[in-house]
Amino acid sequence: MRKYWIRRDKLGIARRTLIACLSLCVVLTEAIAVQAEERTDQAAWKTRIELSYVTTSGNTDAETLSGKLDAKKEEETNRYFLRGSALRAEDRGDETANKWLLDGRWERALNKKLFGFLTASYLKDKFSGYDYRVAAGPGFGYDLVKTKEHHLKGMISTLYCYDKFTEGEKSSDSYISGKAAISYEWHILENLKFKENADYLVSFEDTDRYFINSETALEVKVNGNVSLGVSYSIAYQNKPPFPDIEQTDKVFLTSLIVDL
């Protein structure tokens, strides 16, 4: 009888141990599954490359090379955007355009539609009169419309700007400015997209000094990673650094787009 109870106790201990081990395995499996799901849900960096090249010879001897690199990471709370672009053109061996842009923005969601952000940019455009222009500062944005087909958001910011001129009586200038911007994206069809980005920047010290930029683009997807696009950009400055500079620059490009 005693051996029976001892054997029964051992079986009970073994059963409880087995149940505990199975429970621990279930907990560990659920924890691993949750971690894997969290890793899956975490947004990855998305990169986009745009290239455009045009060359002519004969009666017209010209060459234009343009490239863009966009990278973004959009999480539930934090969103990161990086953009770089370059434009270089020659006409009969003479350089007619040399423009470089690099900017970044970190957004942090405050609720479903409102977000705050920090932004910084660097622009080099000697044919518009600037060795470089640097701007940085905070701002707020709002997702006015955010659906599967349409995404429209507006942003306002206060920026510290520093301009280094290529020539003129004044070599540089610094000032505080205000900037308003809109970004719109419309998925017309599964393989057709329309985009519009526009901004207005004005100096608080001299309101006659303001800048307007606009870029309108249409993209057609060829396959999962490759698209063809056309874009039209306008860059306007109301008060150029010196009189020989045109107020408006316009660029029309046809580009090959690769999403990575």
Q: From CA 139, how far away is CA 118, in angstroms rounded? A: 6
Whether 136 and 253 map to the same domain: the answer is yes
pLDDT > 90 in the chain, percent: 68
146-to-104, 151, 180, 258, 259 alpha-carbon distances in Å: 22, 4, 19, 25, 22
pLDDT top residue among 206 and 60: 206
Whether 96 and 66 map to the same domain: the answer is yes
Instruction: Say if CB 46 and CB 254 are below 8 A apart.
Output: no
What stretches of the chain adopt beta strand conformation (E)? 46-56, 62-74, 78-91, 94-109, 114-125, 130-146, 150-165, 172-189, 192-203, 210-221, 226-237, 248-259
Whether 75 and 37 map to the same domain: the answer is no
What average pLDDT does range 104-133 have in this prediction? 95
Q: Is the confidence at residue 12, as pLDDT, over 70?
A: no
Whether 249 and 160 map to the same domain: the answer is yes
Say which range, 21-25, 65-69, 133-137, has the weakest mean pLDDT.
21-25
| Structural domain count of the chain | 2
Whether 19 and 102 map to the same domain: the answer is no
Whether 51 and 128 map to the same domain: the answer is yes
Whether 104 and 21 map to the same domain: the answer is no
CATH number for the domain harbouring residue 221: 2.40.128.130
Whether 2 and 84 map to the same domain: the answer is no
The domain of 27 spans 1-42
Largest pairwise CA distance in the chain: 113
Whether 48 and 35 map to the same domain: the answer is no
pLDDT top residue among 178 and 28: 178
pTM to 2 decimals? 0.79
Supply the pLDDT for residue 38.
Answer: 47
Say which range, 17-21, 173-177, 204-208, has the weakest mean pLDDT.
17-21
Whether 122 and 37 map to the same domain: the answer is no
Among 235, 217, 236, residue whose Cα is nearest residue 50: 217
Whether 38 and 159 map to the same domain: the answer is no
Q: How many other β-carbons are positioned within 10 Å of the β-carbon of residue 80?
A: 15
Give the chain's length. 260
